[in-house]
């Protein structure tokens, strides 16, 4: 009879988010790893002059951007955001990117850009409002700033709930029903000292992680484990 020896499986699963944001479940085996976020460092980017001048002219603004999310009514959403910022007494930095926000003229209180690398931009802002994509959420948390989330699709409501549960952001906003007052309340809630302290602590913990190195080490370890053919005598 052939002797079927158990082979160590080559396959493994990597999750590229932080265990500080969502701990690894205790029933997951050693073939599954939560590595920490994988960040793309943008070392060859610098602030455009107009943006640098805006940042230097007043208090750090609230970053508002919805990534690649398309806009069904960008003028309406932009109007809500602008009025919410005004009522909260906040300056705003709007990134129009995928089209969820309409392109509007910059002024003393609001600066509009198409896009910018999060790793270089977000350290200059006071807080963020975004769609809750996994990557954007990781970048916002890494910056150590409170983050409000208005989910659009997919897993975004989950990350919005996690930010709120961790104490680093207000309750999620509902894109379909939110009002100017809802937005103004979210912007002002992110001034809360306890929330700001928690966001700073979480940001420091995420920045200390080495997600890419963890992933590479895990893959190398899996590849170096002894193998058997699985069937022998």
The residue ranges of every structural domain in the chain are 49-206
H helix intervals, the chain: 49-56, 74-88, 118-121, 134-142, 156-165, 180-189, 193-208, 211-224
Q: How far apart are CA 43 and CA 41, in angstroms?
A: 6
Instruction: List the chain pLDDT tens, one digit each, 233 residues.
Output: 444 445 456 688 999 999 999 999 999 998 999 999 999 888 889 999 999 999 999 999 999 999 888 878 899 999 999 999 999 999 999 999 888 998 877 888 999 999 899 999 999 999 999 999 999 999 999 999 999 999 999 999 999 999 999 999 999 999 999 999 999 999 999 999 999 999 999 999 999 999 999 999 999 988 887 655 444 43
Nearest CA to 226 among 30, 6, 34, 28?
6
Res 158: pLDDT: 97
Backbone angles phi, psi at 87, to 5 degrees: -65, -30
Report residue 116 CA to chain centroid gap.
14
Residue 8 pLDDT:
52
Judging by DSSP bridges, how do beta strands 127-130 and 147-149 pair with one another?
Answer: parallel
How far, rounded to the nearest angstrom, does the alpha carbon of residue 140 sit from its chain's CA centroid?
A: 4
Contact criterion met (CB below 8 Å) for 206 and 138: yes
Residue 94 pairs in a beta bridge with 64, 112
Name the superfamily (CATH) of residues 49-206: Glycogen Phosphorylase B; (3.40.50.2000)
As a whole number of angstroms, the distance between CA 58 and CA 55 comes to 6
Task: Give 32's contacts (C-beta < 8 A, 6+ positions apart).
Answer: 12, 13, 14, 15, 24
CA distances 62 to 16, 85, 220, 222, Å, are 27, 8, 41, 43
């Amino acid at each position: 009879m052939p002797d079927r020896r158990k082979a160590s499986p080559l396959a493994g699963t990597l999750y590229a988010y932080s265990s500080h944001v969502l701990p690894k479940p205790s029933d997951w085996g050693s073939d599954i790893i939560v590595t920490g976020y994988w960040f793309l460092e943008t070392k060859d980017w610098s602030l455009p002059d107009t943006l640098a001048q805006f940042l230097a002219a007043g208090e750090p603004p609230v970053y508002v951007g919805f990534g690649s999310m398309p806009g069904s009514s960008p003028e309406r959403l932009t109007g809500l955001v602008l009025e919410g910022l005004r009522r909260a007494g906040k300056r705003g930095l709007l990134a129009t990117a995928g089209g969820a926000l309409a392109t509007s003229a910059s002024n003393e209180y609001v600066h509009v850009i198409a896009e910018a690398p999060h790793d270089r931009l977000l350290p200059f802002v006071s807080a963020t409002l975004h769609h809750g994509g996994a990557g954007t959420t990781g970048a916002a948390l890494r910056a150590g700033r409170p983050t409000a989330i208005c989910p659009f699709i997919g897993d975004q409501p989950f990350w919005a709930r996690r930010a709120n549960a961790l104490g680093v952001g207000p309750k999620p906003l509902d894109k379909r029903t939110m009002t100017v007052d809802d937005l103004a309340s979210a912007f002002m809630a992110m001034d809360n000292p306890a929330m700001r302290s928690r966001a700073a602590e979480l940001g420091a913990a995420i920045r200390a992680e080495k997600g890419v190195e963890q992933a590479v080490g895990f893959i190398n370890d899996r590849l170096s484990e002894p193998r058997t053919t699985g069937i022998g005598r």
